[in-house]
Amino acid sequence: MSTEAILAEYIEKELAKGRKSRIGYDDDLLSEGIIDSLGILQLVAFIEDQFGIHIEDEDVVLENFMSVSALTRYLQSRKPV
């Protein structure tokens, strides 16, 4: 599965809670209310576990977390996928 697909599936199943059933890779996760503050913490923990990396607090910012695509770009910058 691609990084995008893994992230989108996790967000759909665990975080969106039925608010949105299909997450587009460019959907604005935060401005559309798909993920809330607790969701961010869960997502960070999921990514750290899934991809075996540590995400610094300083990286948990709008530019990196606004969409599945943005997150994927961030993860690619962290390590070769």
Structural tokens at position 42: 């869960």
Radius of gyration, CA atoms only, the chain:
11
Structural tokens at position 20: 């949105």
Write out the H or E segment, with its range, that includes residue 75.
helix 68-78
58-77 positions binding other proteins, by CB under 8 A: 58, 60-62, 65-66
CB of 33 to other proteins, least distance (A): 3
Near other proteins by CB under 8 A: residue from 2, 5, 9, 36: 36
Structural tokens at position 3: 């990084």
Residue 22 lies near other proteins (rule: CB under 8 A): no
CB of 60 to other proteins, least distance (A): 6
> How far apart are alpha carbons 33 and 48 in whole angstroms?
23
Near other proteins by CB under 8 A: residue from 1, 38, 80, 81: 38
Near other proteins by CB under 8 A: residue from 5, 9, 24, 31: 31
